[in-house]
Amino acid sequence: MRTMTYAEGIREGMRKKMMDDPNVLLFGEDVGKFGGCFGVSAGMFDEFGDRRVRDTPISEGAIIGAAVGSAACGLRPIAELMFMDFVTVGMDQIVNQAAKLRYMTGGKITLPMVIRLPEGGGVSAAAQHSQSLEAWLAHVPGLKVVYPSNAQDAYGLMVSAIEDDNPVIFIENKTLYAVKSEVDDELKAVPLGKACIKKEGTDVTIITYGKQVMDAIKAAEDLAGDGINAEVVDLRSLYPLDKETIFKSVEKTHKVVVVSEEVKRGAFSGEIASLIAEECFYECDAPIKRVGALNTPVPFSMSLETYMLPNHKDIEAAVKSLF
């Protein structure tokens, strides 16, 4: 075993596929010589050159449009938008082009493209640079959506995302970039649509992804002191969704808390809760609880932002309310 940061996991996944396949390329704002806004692509410009690691104009519509066009013509582009919030500017290209072309051409055109989207609060980036909008994208047929919580999954999901012949939304949490975690000496691809049990438990299931996996594990450790043995499920993929792992855990624990950093109203956590209610209702011994951010724009003030975003204490409170 060795350690690697989350950002390094993403970068190594991209490097692996760029070394394997000359048709893989990376482009976005400042991803070249500068190495990306958060340093994720550092060194890749020097390694692969300006034809395969390219800076773009400040136009998210153009970035996604270039990804759609190049993917349709046989390349495997990785397009980075500097912040998830800016996906709003490229939404037409994502929703009406990338997500639809394979279907509308009867499979004659494939779209092997990855869109990297750094998201989330916790860095005082204020309301227009801190949102968690994964529910918007998971809602669209034709898109796959993944969200790693650690370096090993960041590497493995990136490799699988690049290899996939469909558009894959690759969401990254900004506060995780510098976080180190253990990885295998030999890194491997992580299949899309396969969740991971991060901690076994018998009393309650905590379902989450991204940064909230760390919060859930911390909550589970604290809950153990109160005699509650929590199981933590890291979804890793929002679509395809590993319903089998979710349902098996619910059938074991009979209590569920679903956690995400999104504002709670309209969050993807509601989709998970509804699936459990529809397909595992009689396995639940208590109401399905959800934990999310308050329904407000993300504040610039660090103290207000901390208050607004969910944390391990919120998860603990939700779990205890079930007993």
Dist. CA 64–CA 101, nearest whole Å: 14
Amino acid (one-letter) located at 288: I
Using DSSP, state whether 163 is helix, strand or coil.
helix
Cα 269 to its chain centre, rounded Å, is 13
The distance from CA 107 to its chain's CA centroid, rounded to whole angstroms, is: 27
Token duo for residue 204: 């309650």
Question: Which has the closest alpha carbon to 306: 73, 151, 124, 90?
Answer: 124
Helices (H), 242-293: 243-253, 268-279
Q: Residue written as tokens 């340093």?
A: 39
What is the rounded distance in angstroms from the CA atom of residue 182 to the CA atom of residue 5? 9
Q: Annotated catalytic residue: which of 129, 139, 254, 312?
A: 129
Token digits of residue 223: 């809950």
Residue 254 structure tokens:
């009979």
- Count the neighbouring beta carbons within 10 Å of the beta carbon of residue 58: 11
Residue 129 appears among annotated catalytic residues: yes
- CA–CA gap between residue 84 and residue 159 (Å, rounded): 21
Alpha-carbon span 30 to 290, nearest angstrom: 37
Asked whether 205 and 249 are in contact (CB, 8 A), the reply is yes
Give catalytic residues, as residue numbers: 129
